Structure 1
């Protein structure tokens, strides 16, 4: 009986030892680089492993966009690491970069940022292990992890972290939702992991109006003083098959292309009485209009292209652009006949789409900033394009009537930014506010996908030029030639 007890104890010891050793190795492979929250949403296309600090990208060089050949063997972990700018930009925030990527390629000098001592973990009481702990997980010394938009490096049992201002911050969301601002904020996964600076760089893209655009004559004096408008109007209710819904520009600074193509598509459908109802291709504009593509563009140049060259449908030339794709060359060409009508000389990039018909517009015209003039234009002729200033809180909008808040007024300057954006106004309405006063608003389509805002749309104060949305209203007539 004594020997049986000793044998049972010995077996239990070896079972514990090898089970724990295997478990610890598994943690070192899959856990050191990611927080528990990131593991729960893991769906990366590359196998991720923990990395230590050495010279990889510094020797081999860095690659723009996604390049799976831009990789190096990582013998210490029996893995592969990458030096391309895709390695830390996946939407679910997983990274498989080489350990010196942030120093060699992104210029992130981790040791110069703040240090944080993490309390010891009680998960492994029998062991005195070196490294860092976070949220109950152990990370080996020299491991790197990403938390929101910041990177942390475990050096000598201490976290050394960057201190960037993130686009999405829980405290700002809480402050907005606790206040009486008339709208609510949300944490969006597509913005998580972006710095405030990159959010403005990637998610807007409309250049400030040019001098030619600013000097364009405004159409005025079209509304009589006794003319009445409905309290509530949405263009898609009046023209249900002709007004197109929001698309997602992703991390491509091309709101100039999305808003222009969408307004033009609606107008062509309305002015042709439904003969042409296709949504137009923003990719056609991004790749073929000689501008900066995903690095920004002007709406006057976009409208010029629509007038002279025209666009094919979104089905013919679907959207493939993103910062991860880099530059995508133009894949359409056309010639003009003696009447100025463009005709495609290439088949659709989407080979299952037969129609490569090119749609064109008249020269653009500008509507007065008077809200009644804008309302008359929309209700008679269809949606219009508006240029607005976006502030840091607009990215967090979920529902309600938006107006820029002052929740960051006591924060340092780096917490506050603004940039130029363009959207499509499709209607208006009015509601009683919490103070009992009537609040008027515009209804506009954004280009950040259906998951953002009110199914891709937002409401914003009307008649007060909130965020400058009534300053620059542009539109055009559909150029209908069989």
Structure 2
């Protein structure tokens, strides 16, 4: 099994892109990748020793495949850039290597350096990589500070599902993206920073798109997650987690302003600090509409319009029902379980890869998150099978994943993403449509 120091930065996923290719021509040795300058060191590898290779002069045949590139066992390997095999110094020269061994992971008898990605009989792969925003964070901290949706109670998960029926002969397209059907009305992914407030960020993200779509583009607000984090305090914990049903109740009964009016104050990891106090309240003005009772906390913006929604509704968990709702009414909100490998996602169609299976519990922890599903598509695998996926926006900023988005396997309830999906209508009156 794997034996690795696994924090958020473990990049030894059984996923990745094809390695750099076969051996390099001898004339390109000067351009070799400086294996040891990059810190690549297969601490337990037996290369020169295994082949009893050379160890003197300069000979083309003293080359071995090394983790997708080529290493050498001749004296020339240590000239300008070091492309020596890991055991060259020990076996050929009888001296300790001139660099500290990098911690590696053992898999099927081979030692692989961390901070690399490798194929292993992979027919459904996604790319992993390091994200600087998570540098130095442990898995525990990632779960504590980067998620923040509390799994709904049984009374909420038993709420009636609204079933969408496909008409006779109705066929849904193989691919759909909300931003193509509603250009300029689908907003870019948000960034919750180290605030465990995905309950507020995903709610604000879905509501922003839906208000824009249902007002036919007359209103296109980016709604304020901070308004929810600071003011929706009934059974909610701000940047320490919250409930989706409470967030939608607040948006319906109290409403929120735009993010321009009430910007995100950001929260670094300071659990002792108090949550920022609520800077925006609203009052009823008849017909269920509300208006703000304070100026924007941001003094440069004066439009403090309050945006509201109708009651949220739960969709059936069949992929076809979710697809039809998304295509007709706009992006939807979904719960999902985030595992250790999701933090490292860089691209491709994600499915949970249990690289830490069999390791202690602290390496296998996961937590509940919420995201905005924006579309779907499918890919044909090399073996001819079809891989169906959802596209979704996360709230970890544009540098994560595919410009802040990700794709995830569709139709298999991957990471519970189809188990609790919500839609909502923007509360839009004729006066909001520019008609008076």
Q: How far apart, in 2, do the equivalents of 1:396 and 1:350 lie?
A: 35
Find the residue that maps to 2:133 and give its secondary structure.
coil
**Correspondences of 1:247-258 after superposition (within 5 Å):** 247-258=190-201
- Which has the higher relative contact order, 1 or 2, with Cα contacts under 8 A spaced 6 or more apart? 2
Matched, 1:308 2:253: yes
Which residue of 2 is the match for residue 323 of structure 1?
A: 268
**Aligned to 1:267, which of 205, 210, 223?**
210
The reply to whether residue 369 of structure 1 matches residue 314 of structure 2 is no
1:414 deviates by 2.0
Check if 1:447 corresponds to 2:392.
no
Runs of 4+ in 1 over 4 A off after TM superposition: 175-180
Matches of 2:423 and 2:276, distance apart in 1: 28
Residue 405 of structure 1: which of 309, 334, 353 is its match?
353
Query: Normalising to structure 1: TM-score of the pair?
Result: 0.64
Match of 1:288 in 2: 231
Give the Cα separation in 1 of the matches to 2:132 and 2:115. Answer: 16
Relative distance call for 1:195 and 1:272 in structure 2 (3 A) is same
Query: Alpha-carbon deviation of 1:171?
Result: 3.2
The aligned residue for residue 22 of structure 1 is none
For 1:61-210, list aligned pairs within 5 A.
Answer: 171=114, 174-175=117-118, 179-210=122-153
SS in 2 for 1:346: coil
Within the candidate set 339, 352, 356, 2:300 is matched to 352
Report the Cα offset of residue 473 of structure 1.
Answer: 0.5
SS at match of 2:196: coil
- The number of residue pairs the alignment matches comes to 321
Structure 2 gaps of 5+ residues are: 1-37, 39-97, 101-111, 432-436
Q: 1:261 to 1:135 in 2, by over 3 A?
A: farther
- CA drift of 1:213 comes to 1.8
Distance 1:176 1:211 in 2: 41
Paired with 2:369 and 2:183, the residues of 1 have a C-alpha distance of: 26
- Counterpart of 1:139 in structure 2 is none
Q: Which moved more, 1:225-234 or 1:354-363?
A: 225-234
Say if 2:164 and 2:325, in contact at 8 Å, map to a contact too: no
CA distance in 2, matches of 1:324, 1:205: 13
Instruction: Tell me by how many angstroms 1:205 deviates.
Output: 0.2
- Provide the C-alpha distance between the structure 1 equivalents of 2:306 and 2:120, rounded to a whole number of angstroms: 46
Give the root-mean-square deviation of aligned CA atoms.
2.4
Corresponding residue to 2:406 among 430, 453, 458 = 458
**Alignment-derived partner of residue 420 in structure 1:** 368
What TM-score does the superposition give when structure 2 sets the normalisation length? 0.70
TM-superposed deviation, 1:339:
1.5
How big is the shift at 1:235?
0.2
Residue 183 of structure 2: aligned partner: 240
Shift of 1:174: 2.5
Question: For structure 1, which runs of at least 5 residues remain unmatched after alignment?
Answer: 1-36, 38-133, 137-168
